[in-house]
Amino acid sequence: MRIGIVCYPTFGGSGVLATELGKALADKGHSVHFITYQQPVRLNVFNANIYYHEVRVPTYPLFDYPPYEVALASMMVDVILNHDLDLLHVHYAIPHASAAYMAKQIVRKRGREIPVITTLHGTDITLVGRDKTYEPVVTFSINESDVITAVSNNLREETYKSFHIEKEIDVIYNFVDVARFNKKPIDAFRKVIAPNNEKILVHASNFRKVKRVQDVIEIYARIRKKIPVKLLLVGDGPERPAIEVMAREISKDDEIRFVGKQEQMEEILAIADLFLLPSEYESFGLAALEAMAARVPVISTNVGGLPEINIHGKTGYMSAIGDVESMSNYAVNLLKDEVLLEEFKEAAYQQACVHDIHNIVPQYEKIYSRYCRMDCEE
Ligand code: GMT
């Protein structure tokens, strides 16, 4: 099939998932057309089936706010018509679902139908989309999509609670390429980070308020009083300066390292012992799933879709939001007990296998096949 994928090109979960989906579809022989404003960060391979169409937003002195959505819809029209797309799959409702609606109407005027699949990812529903500035457009464009998918049961329920949705929402979980994350640790790298064989904790996020990175530091501060441990913080975002101040108050040397945005997450996870995700909300928690694929148990909060992936007492532990005491106690118990830690690592890996790319991508293909035109190749 000829599939248009619209996403944010950044390190955020929705962009990562959309890009990995596009790559997997291309590997299976579909033609995949990415439409976005920058080369997606995970689009780091050459594949003859992958096309990238950059959306440019010309500036004009009148525009205090350059109209990205208009430029995006115009690019969608161009790609639909010139590359004869079978469908558009948009990731993250704002502004992708409404731009897709506009493109759909424009091509219809030219005698062309294009099915639109909208995948809801999280903050497009639970944070930004709910804001009354956006809500009417979000509700309308979700309802106008031919298919709506959400990345967890929790997000599906949250969507029904917050918006007046008239259609069925299909749940298709996030996925991970287990083979890519199941890597042997690089000893030299581990030695640099933990020269005295300290345990290594990892947190990865976009450092937004919803991630509660301050709790990562609080948890770390409690654990280090009981066992030798290092902390790697992956990613970047608005909260980072404040978190750096907190980190410096706890330790002045290299105990806590900020490694910034990283493409090769699998190299970092390969040396990790525990992953911390104390978020205020996660629709799913793709970062936790990637950790599990690397055999890293997860200490997380018990919010949103996290209980659908992190099995308490098996693949990790979950506590209430802000309960740093409980999360650090769980972490210490696990890190002190090598036998238990090994059991958790194996269970985490097995859980990731359930969400392996090979199990989830066919679920999207099944939806696409409903819209396969007479002449399109499945
Ligand atoms: O919060 C992020 O990491 C970014 C955000 C996004 O949409 O880019 O992630 C959301 O989508 C991911 C992929 O579906 C989910 O795994 C994350 O849980 C979700 N984040 C939140 O709900 C806060």
pLDDT in tens, 13-33: 999 999 999 999 999 999 999
Q: What angle do CA 153, 157, 160 make, to 5 degrees?
A: 140
Q: Do you know the residue count of the chain?
A: 378
Check whether the bond before 362 is cis (ω within 30° of 0). no
Query: Ligand 1: distance of its center to the CA of 109 in Å?
Result: 35
How far does the chain reach from its first CA to its final CA, in angstroms? 5
Domain with residue 101: its CATH number is 3.40.50.2000
pLDDT at 186 over 90: no
pLDDT at 131 over 60: yes
Query: Ligand 1: distance of its center to the CA of 174 in Å?
Result: 10
pLDDT at 44 over 90: no
Cβ neighbours of residue 318 under 8 Å, at least 6 residues apart? 299, 300, 301, 302, 306, 307, 310, 312
pLDDT in tens, 207-225: 999 999 999 999 999 999 9
Q: Is there a domain that residue 216 lies in? A: yes
Please check whether residues 59 and 9 belong to one and the same domain. Answer: yes
Residue 312's pLDDT band (cuts 50, 70, 90): very high
- Give the β-pairing of 199-204 and 169-171: unpaired
Torsion of CA 210, 178, 342, 335, to 10 degrees: -20
pLDDT computed for residue 375 by the predictor = 52
pLDDT computed for residue 377 by the predictor = 53
Which of 90, 121, 125, 211 is the best mutation target for the ligand 1 pocket, counting ligand atoms within 8 Å of the beta carbon and taking the most?
121
Distance CA 112, CA 125 (A): 30
Which H/E stretch holds residue 300?
strand 298-301
pLDDT computed for residue 263 by the predictor = 85
Please check whether residues 302 and 258 belong to one and the same domain. Answer: yes
pLDDT computed for residue 376 by the predictor = 56
Q: Is there a domain that residue 199 lies in? A: yes
Please check whether residues 182 and 245 belong to one and the same domain. Answer: yes
pLDDT at 327 over 90: yes
Mutual angle of helices 357-369 and 13-27, in 10-degree steps: 80
Do 257 and 231 meet the contact criterion of CB atoms below 8 Å apart?
yes
Please check whether residues 29 and 77 belong to one and the same domain. Answer: yes
Q: Is there a domain that residue 123 lies in? A: yes
Please check whether residues 166 and 268 belong to one and the same domain. Answer: no
Query: Ligand 1: distance of its center to the CA of 287 in Å?
Result: 9
Query: Ligand 1: distance of its center to the CA of 131 in Å?
Result: 17
Measured from the Cβ of residue 67, the count of other Cβ atoms closer than 10 Å reads 14
Please check whether residues 185 and 140 belong to one and the same domain. Answer: no
Beta bridge partners of 30: none
**Burial of residue 48 (number of CB atoms within 10 Å: 0-12, 13-18, 19+):** exposed
Query: Ligand 1: distance of its center to the CA of 75 in Å?
Result: 25
List the helix and strand counts (H, then E) for the chain.
Answer: 15, 13
Which of 14, 127, 157 is the best mutation target for the ligand 1 pocket, counting ligand atoms within 8 Å of the beta carbon and taking the most?
14
φ/ψ of 311, rounded to 5, equals -90, 115
- Mean pLDDT for the stretch of residues 297-326: 98
**Burial of residue 45 (number of CB atoms within 10 Å: 0-12, 13-18, 19+):** exposed
pLDDT in tens, 277-306: 999 999 999 999 999 999 999 999 999 999
Please check whether residues 15 and 74 belong to one and the same domain. Answer: yes
Distance CA 92, CA 111 (A): 27
Q: Is there a domain that residue 244 lies in? A: yes
Residue 152's pLDDT band (cuts 50, 70, 90): very high
Instruction: Work out how many domains the chain is built from and give that number.
Output: 2
Q: Which residues line ligand 1 (CB under 6 A)?
A: 12-15, 17, 92, 121-123, 151, 174, 206, 210, 281-286
Residue 216 structural domain: 178-354
pLDDT at 236 over 60: yes
Please check whether residues 218 and 311 belong to one and the same domain. Answer: yes
pLDDT computed for residue 374 by the predictor = 55
Do 72 and 55 meet the contact criterion of CB atoms below 8 Å apart?
yes
Distance CA 90, CA 124 (A): 12
Distance CA 164, CA 316 (A): 36
- Which of 71-80, 214-223, 245-254, 369-378 has the lowest average pLDDT? 369-378
Name the pTM for this structure: 0.94
Mean pLDDT for all residues in the chain: 95
